[in-house]
Chains A and B, each alone.
Chain A
């Protein structure tokens, strides 16, 4: 991407293009303009994103409770050690890990496969892509509710279909193991199109002449895929995967609607656990510390994401 900025701010350029006096005043007003245009947006972000997080950081060192009220007592790192040593939290971390890795892996494999198949078609690409993208545009609420209906053990259409091909009924959302699998399946259904979309963008950007050169060399299909397609699409795909991983780690609404964390605690992810501690247990201090720890994980993942993004843009 070409960067137009130096053109307008290079002092030499300005001086040579216009008389010196207006040039100087314009540079000054440029800075004023930049400040005037950027600061409202930054102020809003400071007020609505940074300040709340700082407040949460402060609360995380106290035993404040939103319902009990009263002054917050300082407890040092007590909340943090309590969370990091809690077996409950470890279990949620494991659930989240299984969910994130399972869902993102499935989405990547499926999404890439669909994109690859679509990219090999010459006709109807646009229609196919549009159709495949529908699940992604739906609200997680709609997705969660509707799958809950479809996965219902008694009158759900999934069990009905399984029954008609002679398979037994599955209690999708009411058994510990199948509930987590259901969550992964539903998330995969919704977000496979995301990976597909980005992979497709990568696949269509691979220059045709590379394939032509390869076919002159009589390289096999697999060889072409491995040495041309995959290396060229991989950087973009990695961005999509990281993006999905961050989103999956943050996920709350689908769990809330589909399983409400249950049965037992089998589908409680970290996000959902934070919600329970904060809004059902009203241990605001502990929940804040929990949240800050999650934010730290997100920051690490985001840094990774931004670094790859930067590499992609420069490369």
Chain B
């Protein structure tokens, strides 16, 4: 931290004594801070840049020792390999991406359909033990996936949901509903209940008042919430790897992880697949940047 130690020890009764001379003036200090921030930003972003760089390098440059930072030949081969299989057809990875889109999309839709009305009800009505219910709902989201997956695996084996998209969709929905309820309750709380009361005085039923007056105001919030649910399901790995196995069902995270199974690993391909996989997430995250604090704390913290 940029606060210098000599200030800390010498100025305890600060107002009685003349101010001790600072080592750094306002501008010098500001420069140090900017430099520090730059170094930290480079450290944080370097792996991402390196990943992008690796994805457009030819294989011999990928494994070059010492590593090549500039002056390599740019190739799009790895990106082609992500989508096109060795036989010219669709690659297993592209199928996995499609599966991911279906699973994430449907589970997000279901979580929204289930979660938004529940959030509205929790916000508007004096539900019995509301706080306890809400806390219970959130705590289901904190269960360790590795632990939950054991009984889920046995359960799915009984009902034939192992290695099926429906199975993944159900468990992702269950993990996204608590988030949707918490996140949406915040948005519903921001819409004054008086709107609905006024509509009801005009003769609408409460359900109509919700649909006609509150719901349209909630659309931006619903969109932001859905985007976060989409990101969570898209990135999810633990359930995907234990509950699915065949190429036609597998989602992208286990498929990408499967690329390093053999004796040699095509790191260029891994990098390209990772870039393709991460790009939509970054775009979506940018779109909901205003709600990031609420989103990443599962709707618990709002500022």
Contacts and interface: CB of A to CB of B under 8 A. Distances in A.
Partners in one complex: yes
Interface string B26-40: 000000011011001
Interface string B126-154: 11000001010111101111111011111
Contact of B145 (A239, A250, A301): A250
Nearest to B43: A189
Contact of B270 (A42, A149, A161, A256): A149
Contact of B1 (A113, A189, A194, A309): A113
A278 B154 CA distance: 11
Interface stretch (A74-82, A87-95, A175-183, A292-300): A292-300
Interface string A278-293: 1100001001100110
B197 A17 contact: yes
B151 A137 contact: no
Given A41-B181, A117-B2, A161 B67 contact: yes
Nearest to A306: B135
A33 B121 CA distance: 8
A7 B123 CA distance: 11
A26 B206 contact: yes
Contacts of A163: 66
Interface stretch (B73-81, B216-224, B286-294): B286-294
Interface string A145-159: 111111000110100
Interface in B144-182: 144-148, 150-155, 157, 170-171, 173-174, 177-178, 181
Contact of A45 (B137, B205, B302): B137
Interface string A185-223: 000010011100110010001000000000001111111
Given A134-B282, A222-B8, A45 B178 contact: yes
Contact of A142 (B150, B241, B277): B277
B125 A139 contact: no
B47 to A, nearest CB: 6
Contacts, number: 312
B143 A298 contact: yes
Q: What bracket does the count of chain B residues touching chain A fall in?
A: 35 or more
Contacts of A294: 144, 147
Interface size class of A (residues with CB under 8 A): 35 or more
Contacts of B152: 48, 52
A164 B66 CA distance: 8
Contact of A137 (B33, B36, B47, B231): B231
A157 B286 CA distance: 29
A306 B278 contact: no
Interface of B: 1-3, 7-8, 11-12, 14-15, 19, 33-34, 36-37, 40-41, 44-45, 47-48, 50-51, 54, 62-67, 114-115, 117-118, 120-127, 133, 135, 137-140, 142-148, 150-155, 157, 170-171, 173-174, 177-178, 181, 189, 192-194, 196-197, 200-201, 205-207, 231, 234-235, 237-238, 241-242, 253-254, 256-257, 259-260, 265, 267, 270-271, 274, 277-278, 281-282, 285-286, 289, 292-293, 296-297, 300-303
13 contacts: A34-B127, A47-B174, A48-B152, A131-B41, A131-B45, A137-B278, A141-B235, A141-B257, A142-B277, A218-B19, A239-B297, A243-B300, A256-B237
